[in-house]
Amino acid sequence: MKINRSCKQFFTHIIFICVCVLALIQSQVVCAQLRIVPIDQARYGDDEANAQNLRTQASLSLPFFDDFSTAKTAAPSAKYWLPGSGVYINNTLTTSHPSVNVATFDGLNANGVPYNLVNPLTQGYTDTLTSQPVNLNGKVAADSVYLSFYWAAKGLGELPDSSDFLRLEFYSKTQEWVPVWTQLGYEVDTLFHQQFISIKDPNYLHEAFQFRFRSYGRSSGPYDTWHLDYVYLNTKRSVKQPYLFDVAMRKPVSNILKKYTAMPLRQYRVNPAAANSDSVKTDIVNHFNNFNVLTATYTLADAQRGTEYTRNVQRSIVVEALKSQVLRTKIAPVNAPAQLDSLHLISKFFIATTDTIPGANLKTNDTITARAALTDYFAYDDGSAEYGVQVNQKLGKVAVQYVLAKADTIGGIRMSMVSFNKDISGQGFTIQIYNNKAGKPDQIIAQRSVAVRYPPMRNGFTDYAFVTPVAVPDTFYVGWLQINDQPVTVGFDRNSFLGRNAVFYNLGTEWAKETSLKGSIMIRPYLGTRAQGVITGNEPLDQVNAIFYPNPARGEVHWNNKSLKKVEVYNTSGSLVHALAPARDQQSASVEHLNQGIYIFKATDGKRSFVQKMLISK
């Protein structure tokens, strides 16, 4: 099965990466609505209706060129494509694409929600990308009309299987969609390939010609992934001359910070030189069969105020024919004005080229930007979830290490909550903060029972605040405790490796370092205002959630909630040793039958979940 294959590649010990770049649902009500609406094939009826409506409007003139570099959001440009495609425009799911941004096809709709939330094994057509009408009226075979594009399978997603395919279809004069090219899943590698399709049939040479790309595979998540780039339709073309006079930016700009992708400004100010990277980089690709000489400029500026902190110009850069080349420049620490408590920076490379296709704009791929936040939170990730990460054992724990420049307070945790095959909105889990001992998590400083809430947008974050700011030392850990059989899934970024050595897990009583995950868990602690109390490391309970008492307990345990419907007791190995359904207003129970030791008490009142570590003594 596909899930097992992914597990073998990315799961290790308790933490496993499950292909689930899903996004993301705002509330339980919305989820319920999405779960009962059958999309899959029916959704193409809407696309077809849109296409019919737009065919009555003016068609685009040749040339048609889009490398998706003009996309301002995760959706393709409406100038070239019909709405409702479901494809995801990004620059993070591939590494060898022709130019900045690709269109990714998978089993998720435009909002990152699976087309089918009921049956995880359902297959069918998933994403479709339909062009705006293009005027080919009057063209003949002698005009040598070609459509070309680059395609790739997998990238940083999942490899399509033998039953999956990517298909190209043309819209004919007889108002039919006709397949003209199909790429099967089992015949692929993971590289980008350029494909040329000749358009000679008079049935396609009309004033409202359209083409569309469709993917077929599993519709329950980000499976069977295909990527599309550099789509070009024009006359007077030849397969023997596939080259375009174009130098394009490609890979994301690297981080301006050394250890994180984002950090609080007040922590950055303690030692900017230690926090800052020495240099940043990206790369460019020459698509012409001759060398090109160009000038590259790098700037680092305040996104809100326009203040420029760095400007570096590199002239006479020679880029060889059909090759890529790294652009790198040194940067200095940012001297932020003292009155600022946050700073949003834009890190930008742009090149001066003479790229041209008569009638098309090849300048849009000459610029690439990245944003860096010096605000209130720490992050290892770049904000894009290629997979999800979860602990696959009940009562298993995950923790991610962060190091402060000086002692501070934590106000809460932001988590990229994603779903894997099943919507678990409202399910309880526990967020936790640990102190440090010998480079591993040690005692719980604070914890809070919370419920799964999905953000309203793809790659969004859910904010879980502590009731009062939590004082933390120089090294601390944030993470979660899995308290249900159905795992909580958190976004996993495969592009940023900054957090790959910061992950720890605990299946019972001992913490171990996770070393095989190649990426960063998308969990972001943010600073609070001031500490409430003193860190001792001896009290593992957030008092808001400490409903069982006394602790230690001898003979009998009490609780302060009259509405508990279920109480379960687990030993430190995760085995259930006792369970009861309290009678109305019952607020105590005997524990004399339990051996002396540490136990996990889990309870629910039907709306909230509570988890507490208890010591039973004799």
CA nearest to 177, candidates 185, 167, 187, 192: 167
Return the pLDDT at 57: 58
- Residue 81 β-bridge partners: 131
Cβ neighbours of residue 52 closer than 8 Å, sequence gap 6 or more: none
d(CA 191, CA 294): 27
Supply angle C-alpha 141, 142, 144, rounded to 5: 75
Backbone angles phi, psi at 543, to 5 degrees: -60, -25
- Residue 179 β-bridge partners: 169
- Residue 228 β-bridge partners: 103, 151
Return the pLDDT at 616: 83
Tokens of residue 340, six digits: 């600022």
CA nearest to 466, candidates 482, 443, 480, 447: 447
Backbone angles phi, psi at 319, to 5 degrees: -110, 120
Beta carbons of 324 and 290 less than 8 angstroms apart: no
d(CA 482, CA 251): 36
CA nearest to 252, candidates 165, 381, 414: 381
Beta carbons of 391 and 15 less than 8 angstroms apart: yes
d(CA 410, CA 471): 6
d(CA 279, CA 498): 15
Length of the chain counted residue by residue: 618
H or E stretch covering 244: none
d(CA 400, CA 491): 13
Backbone angles phi, psi at 275, to 5 degrees: -85, -25
- Residue 521 β-bridge partners: 492
Which regions of the chain are under pLDDT 70? 1-57, 530-546, 573
Furthest CA-CA distance within the chain: 94
CA nearest to 104, candidates 114, 124, 90, 123: 90
C-alpha 615, offset from chain centre: 40
Beta carbons of 466 and 417 less than 8 angstroms apart: no
C-alpha 317, offset from chain centre: 34
Return the pLDDT at 357: 81
- Residue 151 β-bridge partners: 193, 228
CA nearest to 232, candidates 201, 206, 208, 196: 196
CA nearest to 589, candidates 567, 613, 611, 618: 567
Supply angle C-alpha 356, 97, 384, rounded to 5: 120
SS3 call for 410? strand
CA nearest to 113, candidates 126, 131, 129, 94: 126
- Residue 178 β-bridge partners: 170
| Amino acid at the residue 86 | G
d(CA 264, CA 402): 12
d(CA 55, CA 146): 21
Tokens of residue 17, six digits: 């990466």
DSSP states along 493-544: ESS--TTTTSEEEESSS-EEE-----SEE-EEEEE-SS--S---S-----GG
Return the pLDDT at 221: 76
Q: Which domains does the chain have, with CATH numbers?
A: 37-242 (2.60.120.260), 248-374 (2.60.40.10), 387-527 (2.60.120), 546-616 (2.60.40.3080)
Q: Are strands 123-130 and 211-218 parallel, antiparallel or unpaired?
A: antiparallel
Tokens of residue 292, six digits: 């090109």
How many CB atoms neighbour CB 443 within 10 A? 14
Residue 93 DSSP label? S
Return the pLDDT at 546: 65
Peptide bond into 272 cis (omega under 30): no
CA–CA distance from 508 to each of 349, 394, 512 (Å)? 48, 10, 11
Beta carbons of 547 and 561 less than 8 angstroms apart: yes
Indicate the Cα dihedral angle 212, 216, 218, 222, nearest 10°.
-40
Residue 187 DSSP label? G
Residue 68 DSSP label? S
With 0-12 / 13-18 / 19 or more C-beta atoms within 10 angstroms meaning exposed / middle / buried, residue 574 is: middle
Put the strands of the sheet holding 462-472 in their side by side order: 462-472, 408-415, 523-527
Return the pLDDT at 456: 79
Backbone angles phi, psi at 28, to 5 degrees: -65, -35
